[in-house]
Amino acid sequence: MTEIPGPYLWAVGAVATAVIGTSLAARLSQRPWMTPSRAVTLVGAVGVLLAGVLPISWGATSASLTVALGAVSLLLGLVAWGRSAETEVVAEGTRRSPSPPSSTISSSFRSGWSMVCLLVLDELLLGGVLVGAGLAPLVPGVTGPFDVVVSSLTSPIFIISASVGILIAGLFGRPDLSSRVRALLVGQAVLVLLSPTTVASSTWATVSVYVGAAAFVALFVIALQFVYRTKQLAPSLSRLLALWSVAGTLTASGWFVWHFYGSPVVLAFSVLTQVFVALSAPLAPRPSASETRLPWLLHPFWVFEILLFTFLTEFFLGALLDLTIAGPTFLQFIPFLPYAGASLGALGTAVYDGLWFGAAILASAWFLIVMGFTMGMLVVFKMRETREPALRYRLGLMIAVYALAAIYIPSLASSTPITTSSSLANLPVIGWGFGLRSGGPFESTAFFAILFMYAFVGVMTVLFGRKALCSVMCGAALLYQGTAVSEMRGFNQTSRVGRYFLGSQLSTAYLVASSLALISLFATSVLGVLHMLPSVTLADGVVDRAALPLPVELYFGALWFAMFVSVPYVGTYNCATTGFCHWGALSIPFAKVGLFRLKVKDRKVCQQCTTFDCAKACPVGLVDMPLAFRTTGEYRSTKCCGVGDCIGACPYGNMYHQDVRFWIRRRMSRTSAPPVGSRLPMAPSSASTISSATETKSPSVSQL
């Protein structure tokens, strides 16, 4: 360690932090006295100073000397790169060209990124100086030639200074940054500050997990709602959101690896990535006026990236919450294989154990809670936007059912139950995997409970159509009916696979997928009853011989989420459109004889409509409904999930759902036939059936 007194090093750190913060704030607020070249020079000079102190604080070891020399070389190169970029900008500006040339934009890009790299390098060197001097704790578990870098990245000094820098970037960023982008930057500052190594305390480690998970959920909600409202994004902003989602996945995985294995390597890399992504937004060059904003629905791969990394982030957050709440034993009930044998055998074991780990997390209550809060908030935003009271009630009921049926009850048979009540732990349940499963040894009560579940679904489908299952009782409804994901329904008609499943006809692929789902479920149930499946020991020590094996867990769990993130290539509600959900396949016969259908108040309104908004708004791609409305005035399809977006999209209020409630009211003579819709602008005023609608007040959907 160093012989330099601690107060001197703290003074050096304070001066360095003040210069870096002032330069960053002045550069972002575009003060005339802080030109880009001055900011680059000041920050570079601070870095050179810190690089000179670094080997002294570490006792002049070979590793510290190597890092210091490399840092000085990199600092000088970045300073020269940034200053040369501004020289080019000034030279181009003297030509007074009417539009910014490409070389000017490129130079601005180099100037911004040189500033970002210098800031990160300075904060890294500052953390290394204080760690080496023993003024900041050295993160345990770091060995080898990269101990200086990893220790600096995970040191409290670097984390705190980096979070302050990101906060300054969010508060003093370019004026053209939107409020939601600023909110994301502030959120990133909070996430960096919540790193588990910020404070060397077990209490902080626990608090950071809970607060960090809540912060992640809030940021994803802000980002997805921003995408939903913006519709069209500039390429630079699209790249920023994609990089932010990747950084979120790295951060969540780094937290989990640190808490589970105690390794800081992934954590250090995730912190570095967060800082780079956060600072690149306000310091990047201002988008040119010629940059075209395109609808994000035209970029399926970008949407796939957002969905994939959102899912992966929340997957690791669920695993982290399981680990924090249940401890390291939350995976003790999974039949992991030990690593032994040749490298190929070890690889196969790793794949097998990884699949079991994924299946366990996907079935855990805390992963579903994180997903539920994220997508549930988007549903709440949709409830605020809708004008139909009946749709608000159904969305609220859907959230409540998700909390009860998809999280609370299935968790009773998991290794991380929400409750430990002995009277509830033995309830037979059907878990998220949609298979036969019991909280204890298989008994006749479990069998009758399963039969009751299927009978109940059948009766509800007859009375209310698939709306009761696919729009209320199923957990998929919550994920697909939020604002941002619901907006992705356009992929049903633009994606190659989605177009194949358009309309109400059941294609050959649909029949094959639904048949495989039903056969798999039936075979698993029979094998479970015959005790021919591998048994699993539950948290209370009871052997569950009806537990689902790994292939079926992956089939009904991991496959479903894989289909969810593949919405840009398959379409929304693809569990219903492609037929791989066995619940939907089982409900088809009941839907054929049920009372549910879509009806219109006046066929002539549909015959003169030219917008076809009902078909465009359908989340399952039922594009043939306008033709049915024009000819018969009603529409029935076994693929209709009763979401109701088509009703809200109709600009003339001419559509409504008809189910058992309407039939009972008509039988009781409590309501007459619904009046006709409002007169269309292009409809002839002499049509009595249409003009009469202007004299009759149409009831709302909730009254029907």
Give per-residue pLDDT as tens, 200-235. 888 898 999 999 999 999 999 999 999 999 888 888
Give me the phi and psi of 543, to 5 degrees please: -85, 125
Give me the phi and psi of 177, to 5 degrees please: -70, 135
Q: Note the pLDDT of residue 682.
A: 44
Q: Note the pLDDT of residue 376.
A: 92
Q: Note the pLDDT of residue 271.
A: 87
Burial class (CB in 10 A: 0-12, 13-18, 19+), 340: exposed
pLDDT tens-digit series, residues 511-547: 888 888 888 777 766 665 565 555 555 444 544 444 4
Q: What integer is the mean pLDDT of 667-679? A: 54
Q: Note the pLDDT of residue 183.
A: 83
Residue 93 has pLDDT above 60, yes or no: no
Encoded tokens for 415: 């290794």
Q: Note the pLDDT of residue 664.
A: 84
Residue 365 has pLDDT above 60, yes or no: yes
Three-state SS for 121?
helix
Which residues does residue 657 pair with via DSSP β-bridges, in sequence order?
598
Q: Note the pLDDT of residue 215.
A: 93
Burial class (CB in 10 A: 0-12, 13-18, 19+), 38: middle
Residue 337 has pLDDT above 50, yes or no: yes
- The pTM (predicted TM-score) of the whole model is 0.80
Residue 551 has pLDDT above 70, yes or no: no
Nearest by Cα to 325 from 434, 408, 417 = 417
Q: Are 78 and 116 in contact (CB under 8 A)?
A: no
Residue 252 has pLDDT above 90, yes or no: yes
Nearest by Cα to 484 from 337, 296, 313, 317 = 296
Please give the mean pLDDT across all residues of the chain. 75
Residue 310 has pLDDT above 70, yes or no: yes
pLDDT bucket at 357, cuts 50 / 70 / 90: confident
pLDDT bucket at 496, cuts 50 / 70 / 90: confident
Q: What integer is the mean pLDDT of 70-79? A: 62
DSSP string, 505-518: S--HHHHHHHHHHH
Q: Which of 190-194, 337-341, 345-349, 589-593 has the lowest mean pLDDT?
A: 337-341
Q: Note the pLDDT of residue 335.
A: 65
Three-state SS for 268?
helix
Nearest by Cα to 139 from 126, 153, 125 = 153
Q: Note the pLDDT of residue 75.
A: 61
Residue 499 has pLDDT above 80, yes or no: yes
Q: What integer is the mean pLDDT of 181-186? A: 83
Residue 76 has pLDDT above 70, yes or no: no
Encoded tokens for 458: 């059948």
Q: Note the pLDDT of residue 40.
A: 73
Nearest by Cα to 382 from 527, 228, 489, 254 = 228
Q: Note the pLDDT of residue 158.
A: 80
Q: What integer is the mean pLDDT of 3-7? A: 58
Q: What integer is the mean pLDDT of 56-74? A: 63
pLDDT tens-digit series, residues 437-475: 433 444 455 566 667 777 888 899 999 988 888 888 888
pLDDT tens-digit series, residues 380-397: 999 998 887 888 889 999
Q: Give the separation between CA 422 and CA 285, rounded to whole angstroms.
A: 61
DSSP string, 62-109: HHHHHHHHHHHHHHHHHHHHHHHHHHHHHHHHTTT-SS--HHHHHHHH
Q: Give the separation between CA 235 and CA 299, rounded to whole angstroms.
A: 10
| Residue 92 CB neighbours (<10 A) | 18
DSSP string, 567-604: HHHH-TTHHHHS---HHHHHHHHHHHHSS-EEEES-HH
Q: Note the pLDDT of residue 628.
A: 92
Q: Give the separation between CA 550 and CA 556, rounded to whole angstroms.
A: 10
| Range ranked top by mean pLDDT from 280-289, 481-490, 676-685 | 481-490
Q: What integer is the mean pLDDT of 77-91? A: 52
pLDDT bucket at 431, cuts 50 / 70 / 90: very low
Residue 415 has pLDDT above 60, yes or no: no
Q: The dihedral of CA 60, 64, 69, 72: what is its sign? A: negative
Q: Note the pLDDT of residue 224.
A: 92
Q: Which of 15-29, 182-196, 644-658 has the lowest mean pLDDT?
A: 15-29
Q: Are 364 and 322 in contact (CB under 8 A)?
A: yes
Q: What integer is the mean pLDDT of 624-630? A: 91
Query: In this predicted model, which residue has the larger pLDDT, 416 or 544?
Result: 416
| Range ranked top by mean pLDDT from 47-51, 346-350, 591-595, 680-684 | 591-595
Total residues belonging to the chain: 704
pLDDT bucket at 407, cuts 50 / 70 / 90: confident
Residue 348 has pLDDT above 80, yes or no: no
CA 559 to chain CA mean position, Å: 17
Q: Which of 72-76, 158-162, 306-310, 620-624 has the lowest mean pLDDT?
A: 72-76
CA distances from 399 to 170, 376, 466 (A): 34, 7, 17
Q: What integer is the mean pLDDT of 250-261? A: 91
Q: Give the separation between CA 471 and CA 653, rounded to whole angstroms.
A: 21
Encoded tokens for 131: 């760690």
Three-state SS for 254?
helix
Q: Note the pLDDT of residue 509.
A: 85
pLDDT bucket at 356, cuts 50 / 70 / 90: confident
Q: Give the separation between CA 171 and CA 290, rounded to whole angstroms.
A: 27
Q: Give the separation between CA 701 and CA 389, rounded to whole angstroms.
A: 8
Share of the chain above pLDDT 70, in %: 65
Q: What integer is the mean pLDDT of 134-161? A: 68
Residue 688 has pLDDT above 50, yes or no: no
| C-alpha dihedral (462, 463, 467, 471), degrees to nearest 10 | -110
Q: Note the pLDDT of residue 484.
A: 92
DSSP string, 165-182: HHHHHHHSS-TTS-HHHH
